[in-house]
Amino acid sequence: MSGIPTASTVHTCEVLRAMPFGLLVRLEDGRTAVIRERELAWTAEERRNWRQAYQPGVKVQAVMLDEHGGESPELSVRLAQFDPWLTLPERISPGQLVEGVVTVVQPFGAFIEIQPGVTGLLHRSALPAWCGWPIADVFWPGDAVKAMVQRVDVQERRIALTLENIREVRWRDASRDASRDASRANGRARAEAQAGASAPRPSRSLLPLELASLPRAYSVLLVDDDVEYRETWVRWLRNAGQYAVGAASAGDALQLLAGGEAFDLVLMDAHLPDLLGAEALARILDGAPETRGVLMSGDWGYLGGPDPLLRRLQAAGVRFLPKPFQAEELLNVLLPSGEADGSGAGDGRKGESDPHESGKPAGEYAEPQRLLEQALLRAQRLTRAALAVLFRLDVSSRKVEVELPRNDRRLDLTALLNLVHSPVRDVAEDRAFCEIENAATAAARARYLLPLLPFGACLGAAVPADSPHRYALFFFYDRPTAFDEARREQARAGALAVGAALERREMIARIVECQRDILLGQLNRGLVHELSNRIPAARDSIASLTKQLQRAERSATTAPESARPESAHDAVRLARESLDDALKNVESLAHINGLFRRFAAESSVSVAPVERVAREAVEMTRDLAEGAGVTVEVEPYPSLLIVRANPVHLQHVLLNVITNAVQQIALLRPRKGGHEGRVRIRFEERQRRAGPVVIISVEDDGPGIHRHQLPRIFELGFTTRKDGGSGLGLYVARHLVEAMHGRISVAESARLWGTRFVVELPVGV
708-738 confidence digits (pLDDT tens): 888 888 887 787 776 666 667 888 888 888 8
pLDDT score at 194: 39
H/E segment holding residue 110:
strand 109-115
User: pLDDT tens digits, residue range 355-414?
Assistant: 333 333 333 334 677 778 888 998 999 999 999 999 999 988 889 999 999 888 899 999
245 phi and psi angles, rounded to 5 deg: -130, 140
CATH architecture of 384-483: 2-Layer Sandwich (3.30)
pLDDT at 207 over 50: no
Distance CA 428, CA 430 (A): 6
Q: CA 224 → CA 67, 269, 310, distances in Å?
A: 28, 5, 18
Model confidence at 455, pLDDT cuts 50, 70, 90, reads very high
Lowest mean pLDDT among 45-49, 203-207, 440-444, 458-462: 203-207
Q: Which residues, 6+ apart, have CB-to-CB distance to 29 below 8 Å?
A: none
CA distance 460 to 519: 42
| Percent of the chain topping pLDDT 70 | 72
Res 151 pLDDT > 60: yes
How deeply is 267 buried, as exposed, middle or buried, from its count of CB atoms within 10 A (0-12, 13-18, 19+)?
buried
Q: Cβ-count burial of 573 within 10 angstroms (0-12 exposed, 13-18 middle, 19+ buried)?
A: exposed
Separation CA 542–CA 549 (nearest Å): 11
Q: Distance (Å, rounded) from C-alpha 376 to C-alpha 749?
A: 39
Most confident of 18-22, 236-240, 480-484: 480-484
Q: Within 13 Å, how many C-alpha atoms sit on residue 183's CB side?
A: 8
| pLDDT above 80: residue 203 | no
- The phi-psi region of residue 142 (left if phi > 0; otherwise alpha if psi is between -120 and 50; otherwise beta) is left
CA 292 and chain centroid, separation: 28
More confident residue, 351 or 240: 240
Whether the CB-CB separation of 150 and 87 falls below 8 Å is answered with no
- Looking at 177-186, 214-223, 392-401, 550-559, which range is the least confident one? 177-186
Work out the angle between the directed axes of helices 564-600 and 647-668 (0-180°, nearest 10).
90
Which range among 210-214, 367-371, 509-513, 544-548 shows the weakest confidence by mean pLDDT?
210-214
Kindly report, as residue ranges, where domains of CATH 3.30.450.40 are found in the chain: 384-483
Which pLDDT score, from 0 to 100, does residue 408 have?
86
User: Which of these ranges, 84-88, 145-149, 549-553, 586-590, has the smallest mean pLDDT?
Assistant: 586-590
Which of 76-90, 111-125, 331-345, 548-562 is predicted with the least confidence, judged by mean pLDDT? 331-345
Q: How many CB atoms lie within 10 A of CB 103?
A: 22
Is 750:704 a contact under the CB 8 Å cutoff?
Answer: yes
- CATH code for the domain defined by 10-81: 2.40.50.140
> 343 falls in which pLDDT band (50, 70, 90)?
very low
CA atoms of 424 and 711, how far apart (whole Å):
43
Three-state DSSP class for 334?
Answer: helix
3-class SS of residue 748: strand
Q: Is the pLDDT of residue 700 over 80?
A: yes
Pair 350, 748: CB distance under 8 Å:
yes
Tell me what pLDDT residue 213 has. Answer: 42
Distance CA 474, CA 558 (A): 92
pLDDT digits (tens, 9 = 90+) for 251-302: 999 988 887 778 888 999 988 988 899 999 999 888 887 788 999 888 767 7
Assess contact for 27 and 327: CB atoms under 8 A. Answer: no
Whether residue 184 is predicted with pLDDT greater than 90 in this model: the reply is no
User: What are residue 696's DSSP bridge partners?
Assistant: 683, 759
pLDDT digit string, tens, across residues 7-29: 467 889 999 988 888 899 998 88
Give the distance from CA 745 to its chain's centroid: 7
Q: Torsion over CA of 435, 439, 444 and 449, rounded to 10 degrees?
A: 80
CATH, range 208-334: 3.40.50.2300
Instruction: Give me the amino acid identity at 242.
Output: Q
DSSP structure class, residue 83: -
pLDDT at position 87 is 82
Query: What residues does CATH 3.30.565.10 cover in the chain?
Result: 606-762
Read off the pLDDT of each residue in 234-256 and give the average, rounded to a whole number. Answer: 85
Cβ atoms of 355 and 747 within 8 Å: the answer is yes
pTM of the model: 0.59
* Segment holding 145, helix H or strand E: strand 144-153
What pLDDT was estimated at residue 419?
94
Distance of alpha carbon 400 from alpha carbon 189, whole angstroms? 65
The sign of the dihedral angle between the CA atoms of 691, 694, 697, 698 is: negative
Q: How far apart, in Å, are the Cα atoms of 555 and each of 151, 170, 397, 576, 755?
A: 79, 62, 71, 17, 64
Q: Give the pLDDT band of residue 5 (cuts 50, 70, 90).
A: very low
Parts of the chain belonging to CATH 2.40.50.140: 10-81, 88-195
For the ranges 39-53, 247-261, 328-342, 431-445, the maximum mean pLDDT occurs at 431-445
Quick one: DSSP state of residue 116?
Answer: T
Strand order in the sheet with 59-64: 32-36, 22-26, 10-19, 59-64, 75-76
CATH superfamily of 88-195: Nucleic acid-binding proteins (2.40.50.140)
The answer to whether 104 and 141 are in contact (CB under 8 A) is yes
pLDDT digits (tens, 9 = 90+) for 604-615: 667 788 999 999
Region of residue 57 (phi > 0: left; psi between -120 and 50: alpha; otherwise: beta): left
- Cα distances (angstroms) measured from residue 625 to each of 360, 518, 523, 630, 655: 34, 17, 10, 5, 12
Q: Which CATH number does 606-762 carry?
A: 3.30.565.10
* For residues 52-70, average pLDDT: 81
Closest CA to 4 of 146, 151, 153, 142: 153
- Distance between CA 4 and CA 64 in Å, rounded? 10
752-761 average pLDDT score: 94
pLDDT tier at 425, thresholds 50, 70, 90: very high
* % the chain with pLDDT above 90: 33
The span from the CA of 129 to the CA of 484, in Å, is: 74
Given this model, what pLDDT does residue 306 score? 76
Secondary structure (DSSP) of 271-295: B-SSSBHHHHHHHHHHH-TTSEEEE
SS3 of residue 555 by DSSP: helix
Give the three-class secondary structure for 704.
coil
**Higher pLDDT, residue 147 or 334:** 147
Query: What are the angstrom distances between the C-alpha of 86 and each of 9, 128, 598, 649, 743?
Result: 14, 31, 62, 54, 44
Closest by CA position to 421, among listed 445, 455, 443: 445
pLDDT at 520 over 70: no
The CA distance from 607 to 605, in Å, is: 7
For residue 337, the 8-state DSSP code is: T
Q: 105-116 as b/e, with b when 16 or more CB fall inside 10 Å?
A: beeebbbbbbbb
Query: Distance between the two ends of the chain, CA-based, in angstroms?
Result: 58
**Order of strands across the sheet with 457-463?**
399-404, 387-394, 470-477, 457-463, 434-436
Measured between alpha carbons, how far is 667 from 732 in angstroms, rounded to an integer?
22
DSSP state of 708: G
What average pLDDT does the chain have? 78
Lowest mean pLDDT among 222-236, 406-420, 660-674, 738-752: 660-674
Q: How confident is the model at residue 191 (pLDDT cuts 50, 70, 90)?
A: very low
- Total residues belonging to the chain: 765
- Across 426-455, average pLDDT: 94
Confidence of residue 189 (pLDDT cuts 50, 70, 90): very low
Predicted local distance difference test score (pLDDT) of residue 363? 34
- The answer to whether the CB of 503 falls within 8 A of the CB of 511 is no
Higher pLDDT, 629 or 343: 629
- 139 phi and psi angles, rounded to 5 deg: -120, 135
